Structures are given as structure tokens and as C-alpha cells.
Structure 1
Amino acid sequence: MRVLHLGKYYAPVRGGIERHTQMLAEWCVGQGDAVAALVHQTPGRWRGSRETLNGVDVTRAGCLAAPVYTPLSPAFPVQLARLLREFQPDILHLHMPNPSCFAALALPSARRLPWIVHWHADVPPDSPDWRLRTLYHAYRPFEQALLRQARTIVATSRPYLEASAALAAWKDKIRVIPLGIDDAHVPVATDAAPAWPQRDGLRLLAVGRLSRYKGFDVLIEAMAHVGGASLLLVGDGECERELRELAVTRDISSRVRFAGNLDDDTLAAAYATADAFVLPSLDRGEAFGMVLLEAMRAGLPAIASAIPGSGVAAVVADGETGILVPPGDAAALAAAIERLGDAALRQRLGSAGRTRWRENFTLEKSARAIRALQSERPD
């Protein structure tokens, strides 16, 4: 097959959607497919580029800026038309949310192809950000037109599908296929491992963009009520200064290290040297939680938020592979951290989590299901 992916960004940009798109594309290359991806440059880089990464033909359209998480790229429709003409894909695979994908609606050469729309997350109409709420009124008609055009829609979990107002009218053509990650080698403690804030005590790892919906402020508040534990917080974002100030205010700055973004080897070593993983997200902006799969693969027990309508609870089995707590509840989060001071409990949950990952969330399992959809022929 010849498959063209449309997404926001691609490696080396980090993020759950970007990571999934890369792994899926490279896996399909390994099956003999010709795979291309059209994405954006990072905001502010207005010159486009084209390169081959691990067999994937990656075109990055210039991006002027990204207000309200939306890349502004006048070149994206032009590059899409060029790729449709030159690459001649058999199928389009659109990763949403991404307003640039709407360009496909205007191109007859795109509409003649079958589309798979990979629904990674809603644009929340009740977002606390008034800009998102306002812009969604203009966005929704194009979103629904895209879903109408799709041959197949892929949702990443049953709970997210059932809670999505955007997907409500299209359930007859939706398939639920969880995300997956490959069986990469996870190193043990080496020189690549980042320095933890302190030598002794429970080592907690959290990974993600330092944004409000991630709930890292709640985690820092919880840490103030837990003696002895230390936190390695990996990622950057708009809330970093605020979070650093909160750690100082709560007098736990010596137990929290802001590590920024880490390369793959150092991040893998962080998973290998941690005792537990924490995902304290607040709302359905956390649609699935790819980092939870990384933690499970590393044999780490996870503490995560039981967000209504999110896929998080479909990944973490409460009491079996981790502990679920109400989102935004610092006291409940602190109590869960205290529980994981029990080494035997950590071992049991972590071992069960690794088994659950192998049985349900491998890249092989996810990618084979996606490729089967890509290979389907109309009746």
C-alpha cells in the first residue's frame, strides 16, 4: 500500500500523537508499504523541509505560529496537493485534532481516496480556555464534514468514544483500536540515568507537557503531604515557572527536579530507575495516556486520574496494575503515593502492568489492526 499520514508534528517533536504516528508509519514500512507523512514545522519555522526518516518520507510545511494550539500553515494545502500528485497514495490517514486536515475537503484528488480518521482527542467545547470554546463553533462544521467523508474512524478507547459528542453521529463506522508501543529495550540504571532529587525514599516519575490540564500543580501539592518521596518531572511548557514557584512555596523544591525534555536513552533510564509513575491529569484533554504504556512496559506501578470519559481508566486497571484517584484531589493523590511506599505492592502492580501491556497495548497488536483497516477494499 501507499499511505499518506496527515498530522500536526512528527519526530523529533515529542508527544503522544507524534510518537504513535511515527511508530505506526515505521512499522508499516517494515511490512513493505510506502509511507509518507505531511506535518508542520515547529511554530516560527516558516521554511518547509523534506527528509526520509527510517523509511518514512516526511514533509514539514512551514508554520508561522500556533495560536490556541493551532498551527498556521498556508503552505500545508499546497504541499498536500503536491504529495497527492507525486506520491499517489492509496489511502489518507488523518490524525485529529488538526485543522490543517480540513484542506483535504477542498481537494478533489483527496476526496477520491478512502480516508481513515484517527480520533486521538476531541476539541473540548467546555474547555476552560475561552479561546478554544469560541473557536470551536467555527471548527465544528469542518470537523463533522471530515468525519462524514471518512470511510473509517478509529477511536483509541471505548470510554472516550462513548463520551465524545463529536463522534456521536458516526458510531456505525467507528472502530476502537487502543494505542500501542513497541518492545524497545529499557536499560537498567546506567550513566544515562538522570540525577534524582535525593538518594533515598520513593522515586516518582511524571512525564508530559507542563500544561494546566496535566495537573502537575496537584501533584506538587500532594508531594507536600508525603514525606521522603522525590519527584522527577520530565517535560517543558507554559506552566513551568508557576510550578517551580509552587514547589518553593510548598517547601519541597529540594525533592522535585524539573528535568526538561530528555533524549530517548535518558528517558528510558529514568523509567528504569523510578519506583512508580504518576499521571495526575485533570480532564479529557488526557484522552489515553501513552506515557502510561511506557510505565507499564518498564514494570512501574502507575497512579493516574480516573477522568470521566477518558481512556486512562481503560489503560490502568485500578488495584491490579495501578491506583486510580479522583482528578484534582491532592489528598487522594498523596494517600496513593503513601500506599506505594509498600515495595511488595509496587512489585505486584508493576509486574501485572507489564503483563497487561504485553497482552493489550503492544505496537504489533495496534498496528496490525490499523493496517487491516488500511487494506480493506470497498464492498
Structure 2
Amino acid sequence: MSQLVSWQSRSGLESTVLVHHKPHTPDTQDTLPIRRVRAFGELLFVPISPQWPVAFARTLREVRPDLLHIHMPNPWAFCALFSAAARSLPWVVHWHADVPHDHPSWRMRLAYRPYAQFEQQLLRRAATIVVSSQTYLDASATLSAHRDRCAVIPLGLEAERPESAPPDWPNHDQLKLLAVGRLSYYKGFETLLDAVARTADVQLLLIGEGERRTALAARIAALGLHERVRMTGHLDDPQIEAAYRACDVFCLPSLDRAEAFGLVLLEAMRAGKPVVASAVPGSGMTEVVQDQQTGLLVSPGDPDSLAEALALLRERPDLRAQLGQAGRGRFEANYRFDPVGQSISDVYGQLLASSGRV
């Protein structure tokens, strides 16, 4: 979202962003028009933010926007359904991912029932729904009744970003494997650890925080991988960029469509690195990664398939270079942020023109 707001600011488009902010989290985008609403932790992945409805109403009153751009999933976005000021505006709903109705947690499955009712109301009210890939749209049951109002616009990245000193890899003679993401159930990092255990001369740097950290640390110990796997926790953007530049291979082993697109794949491709990702049916990952051309796609949840891909790339530096170069070319051709930002701006223009606001 920060890239979109930065692009809009450079393009002369005035925008105001309302986001949640957890205590003790550093503000990293102070130059952008961002209003932060305090959140006191999370419940079922939802920020606990009792001040949000008041902040939302105040922002609408003070800013008087011409258009509302809602990013989903976010239950707090349902406040717009109950606001006369919000309902008077055209809405763009940015659909980042479906909320899985078959979530492993029974609490999440139970909570989804009422959530789905408001979710559909929000989608019916949207003038345009932005989806990151045609593959994801085609597989989404939630969006099936609204496809005539969907616009496919991929995620994108700026061409470059600052980097700091590279991370300390334990053994420079081994294949340097990188994984980045929230340590969550659907990311498949357990599968990745199992694959690393099956593959000699591979070391893994795992960047991220999340609810699975303790379980992953226990698995590393059980597999005897403490000398080949390092979990860094949270790193800032320049440190992460340096890790991309220093690695040999990037891996995203996600298990299901909760991984709707895989923005980290673009980050690796921007750095010219070969990627290994899961061939999850209905996920945009299979559009981002062209199998055998810009990376390798493997069966989700299959450590043997993943280990085979890692072993191949370990033995074939020429293939790593070929895939990485092709991935960088694909990033340049399809995922630079300028055309992405312009496509979203065009959606705004069409809606404002049709609503008589320009």
C-alpha cells in the first residue's frame, strides 16, 4: 500500500490512508499521508482497535474524499457499510485474498459465517473490485457473483530499493537458500525444513515473525538443522533486500490459496534470483513464476518434490543464472510499479467520470 500512496503522491493524486498501528511498531512512512489508529493486539488475525469507527468517520468528515479505496480482507472495512458519508462515494475494493472457509482453526471457520454476510454486502456495493491475477479470480468462489465488476491488476514493485550489509551465512560453500514471510500455517515452512533436511549442502535463512515461530524452532531442533537453518525474526527492508541480493535461491513453499499472489517472488525476481514456489491451484503464484523459465514449481506440501528442485539448483549454477536472469526480465516487463499504479489511477478516473465527480 505504501508504494501505491507514494506513486500517487508523485503523480499529483491526493490520497489519505487510514491504517492500524500496533504499539511499539516504528513508523516507517512518516512522509506519506497516513493516519494511524492504535490496535491492541489481534483476535483471530483481526486488529483489536475500538477507536477505528471514530477515526474512520473523522477522516471522511475532514478529508471529504471523492472515492473510497478499501483493501480486503479487513473486517474493520465493514464500517463503510454503516456510514452514510461512505455510501455516498464510489468504492474500489482491492481484493488481496479470499478468507478461507475451511481454515484449520474451528474458531476461524465459525467466525467466517457472519463475516461472509458482510463481505458479500461490501462486494455488492463496490463499483470495481481489483484482483491481482486472473488465475485467482477464476478460482474464487467468493468473487464468482461479482466477476463483471472485477479488474485484474497485478501487484508491482519499484525498480530498486536501498539495501544494507548482507546477512551472515554460516557456510559459504553451501547453497544459500532464502525464505521470507509471516511464520503462519499456510506458508509451508515445515515442508521447507523437511526438504532442507533431505538435501545436503543447503543452508536456509528464514526471515519473518509469526505464530508458528516456536513450532518451527522445535522442528529445526528435531531435524538437527541448527547449523544449517537460521531464523532471523523481523528485519527492516534494507536488510531484507540485502538478503535477496546475497542468496543463491529463493523459495516460497506455500500450501494453499491463502497465498494469493506471492509478492516476495517479485522481490526475488527483482534481485535476479531463481525462485522455487508451490504450484497451488488457483493461486497467482503460478502466473508469477513460469515453470522451467523463471523458476521451478513444485507440488505443495511435498518435501521430496521440493528437495529435488533444491538439489537440481545446487548442482546447476548455470541454471540458477539462467532462471534468475529470465526472472529479472519478467519483472521488468510485467511487474514494475509505474504501470500498476497507472492502471489503478485509470480505474479511479473511470469511476469518477461515471459518477459525475470530475
Provide the rounded CA distance (Å) in 2 between the counterparts of 1:111 and 1:129: 34
Judge which range, 89-98 or 242-251, deviates more.
242-251
How high is the TM-score relative to the length of structure 1? 0.90
Question: Deviation string for 1:2-25 (max 9, x for gaps)?
Answer: xxxxxxxxxxxxxxxxxxx11001
- What amino acid does structure 2 have at the position aligned with 1:264? D
Question: 1:72-99 CA deviation, whole Å, 9 max, x = no partner?
Answer: 2221111111111111111110000000
SS of residue matched to 1:86 = helix
Deviation at 1:221, TM superposition (A): 0.4
Taking a change above 3 Å as real, the CA distance of residues 52 and 327 of structure 1, as seen in their structure-2 partners, is closer
| Unpaired stretches in structure 2, ≥5 consecutive residues | none
**1:67 and 2:40 aligned:** no
2:334 match: 360
Superposed, which structure 2 residues align to 1:281-360 within 5 Å?
281-341=254-314, 342-360=316-334
1:280 maps to 2:253: yes
- The residue aligned with 2:5 is 25
Contact 2:183 2:213 in 1 (8 A): yes
Amino acid aligned to 1:289: G
- Selected match of 1:176 from 152, 159, 172: 152
Structure 1 vs Structure 2 CA RMSD: 1.8
Give the C-alpha shift of residue 59 in structure 1: 1.3
**Pairing 1:139–2:115 present:** yes
Q: Secondary structure at the match of 1:227?
A: coil
Q: Displacement, 1:50? A: 10
Distance 1:231 1:164, change over 3 A: same
Q: How far apart, CA to CA, are the structure 2 residues paired with 1:337 and 1:131? A: 36
State the partner residue of 1:129.
105
Amino acid at match of 1:228: D
- Name the residue aligned to 1:53: 30
String of CA shifts for 1:189-228, please: whole Å, max 9, x gaps.
Answer: x7x1110121211100000011111111110100111101
- In 1, distance between residues paired with 2:48 and 2:80? 16
Asked whether the 8 Å contact 2:279–2:297 carries over to 1, the reply is yes
| Match runs of 1:1-379 below 5 Å | 21-42=1-22, 45=23, 53-54=30-31, 56-185=32-161, 192-341=165-314, 342-376=316-350, 377-378=353-354
Aligned counterparts of 2:321 and 2:182: Cα–Cα separation in 1:
28
Q: Name the CA distance, whole Å, in 2 between partners of 1:241 and 1:185.
A: 31
Aligned structure 1 segments of 4 or more residues deviating by more than 4 angstroms? 49-52
Residue identity matched to 1:351? Q
Taking the aligned partners of 2:272 and 2:324, their CA distance within structure 1 comes to 4
Post-superposition offset of 1:156: 0.5
Residues 161 and 238 in structure 2, CA contact (< 8 A), matched pair in contact too = no
What is the CA deviation profile of residues 273-298 of structure 1, one whole-angstrom value per residue up to 9, with x for unaligned ones? 10010000111111100000000000
- Number of residues of Structure 1 aligned to a counterpart in Structure 2: 352
CA deviation digits over 1:227-254, x for unaligned, max 9?
Answer: 0111010011111121112112111210
Q: Hey, what's the Cα distance between the residues in 2 that align with 1:33 and 1:326?
A: 43
